[in-house]
């Protein structure tokens, strides 16, 4: 363990023993530098959730304090979570939102009423979970992971704020995800778009992946599921629903009829055969967001009926028109060039991103790309190669510790695949800021795309800010 890790661990431990307040930056450093060092951190099916259950039990199960909406899916979880949050807030319901990964600020994992929780709330919640974190060191489980700790911080903050609802996104899969410790019978489970990702953990077929996602279903509970195109995925979800006696509403993509889309979002009509809302505007960019809004509105209406929330078309429109999410077709500037930042990190997400560019007639031949080493590089390069002329390959966390340090793919490994594709030029930079600067220097008039990893975008944002550059 690095001396820096030892010093921050000792500092936090001393604060805990002496009942001293821990600063926000100390909490952040402990979470990102010390927590991932746990030897028991690797996801091992049921072992991980056993640790999470033990951990949350020591905290008096804060995950069960607030009425939950729990989301799983390959793509669209974060967007759908924010859509549901906005609709609830727009109708006067206090709501906490826990999504991952964060892009620019760790408190994105702990949103209260659509805003970053305060640093005091974050550190207070961090301090409250610390005794359990240290006490678990010598147990059979080891310390909680970084992700489990951020779960606990959000759950604790939501509980202390006595919110009406908690919108919770799974981190990986569903069945064995640490967020699947939620056991409230009023939990509404939501499944978004499915695809092949994390196959080394979740399985190599859509049926296996769908089964993992449906693992969040609570026995005798209710669920809203985007009807999958794949018959095997559909049958897998139906099987889990039958086994657990879960009532499923199948959200249909064609419930949303698109009227117009541009860089300001989309205008559409929602009609599920029972409810019809005309000329709604969604500020999130991209045609793939229409599937997310179909699921999000369906889930919100399900809650509204159950909890007797009076639904207003005007309030819905206002809520949907004001959603803002970082690194989802986000337009920025750096080194005198326009950037399009998008955290698409699998072939399904990248196909949706490229479809959005084509729909909006945006041409971006120069890309900066970094990936986790668990990603299917071949399929990703296959998707992007038709639109990329010059690929600038780099990495995240090149010179610092972080929760995903051990998961980054080496740039040359990506480049070797790209060189076998139709992409004309492939450049490699170990330093991601140098990669971005180079990409901007060779771009003429078109925006530069930065994609493949939320970690890459977040790190570049911080490094540009340190230089006083508006990224």
Ordered structural domains, the chain, with CATH: 3-321 (3.40.1190.10), 330-466 (3.90.190.20)
Residue 172, pLDDT score? 82
For 253, 284, 286, 355, 426, the CA distances from 262, given in Å and listed in that order, are 19, 10, 8, 13, 31
pLDDT digits (tens, 9 = 90+) for 145-177: 999 999 999 999 999 999 999 999 999 889 999
Residue 1, pLDDT score? 41
pLDDT of 31 above 80: yes
Is residue 368 left, alpha or beta, with left meaning phi > 0 and alpha meaning psi from -120 to 50? Answer: beta
Distance CA 47, CA 184 (A): 22
pLDDT digits (tens, 9 = 90+) for 250-288: 999 999 999 999 889 999 999 999 999 999 999 999 888
Cβ distance 36 to 142 under 8 Å? no
Q: Are strands 67-72 and 188-191 parallel, antiparallel or unpaired?
A: parallel
Element (H, E) at 67: strand 67-72
Question: Which residues lie across from 260 on neighbouring strands?
Answer: 267
- Scanning 136-182, the segments in alpha helix (DSSP H) are 146-161
Q: Mean pLDDT over residues 385-392, rounded?
A: 97
pLDDT digits (tens, 9 = 90+) for 191-238: 999 986 554 555 568 998 999 999 999 999 999 999 999 999 999 999
Distance CA 241, CA 233 (A): 12
Q: Mean pLDDT over residues 305-313, rounded?
A: 98
Band of pLDDT at residue 391, cut at 50, 70 and 90? very high
Residue 42, pLDDT score? 47
Q: Percent of the chain having pLDDT more than 90?
A: 80
**What is the distance between the terminal CA atoms of the chain, rounded to a whole angstrom?**
33
pLDDT mean across residues, the chain: 91
Widest CA span of the chain, in angstroms? 62
- DSSP single-letter state for residue 221: -
Residue 466, pLDDT score? 78
pLDDT digits (tens, 9 = 90+) for 438-466: 999 999 989 999 999 999 999 999 899 87
Residue 38, pLDDT score? 46
Q: Tokens 């604060």, residue? A: 15
CA nearest neighbour of 436 among 386, 471, 385: 471
Whether the model pTM is above 0.75: yes
Band of pLDDT at residue 35, cut at 50, 70 and 90? confident
- Residue burial 161-188, b: 16+ Cβ < 10 Å; e: rest: bebbbbbbbbbbbbbbbbbbbbebeebb
């Amino acid at each position: 363990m690095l001396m820096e890790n030892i010093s921050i661990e000792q500092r936090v431990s001393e604060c805990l023993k002496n009942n001293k307040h821990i600063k926000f930056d100390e909490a952040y450093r402990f979470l990102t530098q010390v927590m991932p060092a746990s030897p028991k951190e690797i996801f091992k099916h049921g072992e991980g959730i056993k640790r999470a259950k033990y951990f949350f039990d020591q905290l008096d199960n804060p995950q069960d304090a607030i009425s939950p909406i729990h989301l799983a899916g390959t793509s669209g979880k974060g967007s759908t979570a924010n859509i549901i949050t906005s609709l609830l807030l727009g109708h006067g319901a206090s709501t906490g939102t826990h999504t991952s990964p964060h892009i620019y600020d760790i408190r994105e994992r702990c949103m209260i009423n659509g805003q970053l929780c305060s640093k005091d709330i974050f550190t207070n919640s961090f301090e409250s979970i610390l005794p359990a974190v240290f006490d678990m060191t010598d147990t059979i489980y080891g310390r909680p992971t970084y992700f489990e700790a951020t779960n606990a911080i959000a759950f604790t903050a939501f509980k202390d704020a006595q919110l009406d609802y908690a919108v919770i996104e799974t981190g990986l899969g569903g069945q064995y995800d640490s967020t699947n410790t939620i056991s409230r019978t009023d939990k509404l489970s939501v499944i978004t778009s499915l695809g092949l990702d994390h196959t080394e953990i979740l399985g190599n077929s859509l049926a296996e992946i769908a089964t993992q996602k449906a693992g969040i279903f609570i026995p005798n509970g209710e669920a809203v599921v985007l009807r999958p195109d794949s018959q095997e995925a559909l049958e897998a979800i139906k099987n889990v629903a039958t086994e657990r006696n879960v009532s499923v509403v199948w959200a249909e993509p064609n419930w949303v009829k698109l009227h117009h889309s541009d860089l300001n979002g989309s205008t559409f009509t929602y009609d599920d055969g029972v409810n019809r809302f005309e000329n709604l505007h969604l500020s999130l960019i991209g045609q793939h967001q229409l599937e997310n809004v179909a699921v999000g509105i369906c889930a919100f209406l399900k809650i509204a009926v159950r909890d007797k929330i009076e639904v207003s078309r005007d309030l819905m429109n206002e809520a949907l028109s004001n959603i803002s999410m970082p690194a989802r077709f986000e337009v920025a500037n750096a080194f005198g060039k326009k950037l399009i930042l998008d955290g698409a990190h699998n072939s399904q997400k990248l196909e949706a991103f490229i479809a959005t560019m084509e729909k909006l007639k945006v041409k971006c031949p120069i890309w900066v790309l970094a990936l986790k080493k668990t990603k299917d590089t071949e399929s990703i390069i296959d998707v992007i190669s038709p639109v990329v002329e010059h690929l600038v390959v780099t990495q995240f966390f090149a010179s610092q510790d972080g929760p995903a340090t051990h998961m980054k793919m080496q740039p040359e490994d990506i480049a070797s695949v790209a060189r076998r594709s139709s992409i004309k030029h492939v450049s490699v930079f170990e330093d991601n800021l140098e990669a971005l600067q180079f990409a901007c220097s060779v771009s003429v008039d078109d925006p530069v795309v930065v994609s493949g990893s939320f970690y890459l975008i977040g790190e570049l944002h911080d490094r540009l800010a340190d230089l006083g550059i508006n990224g």
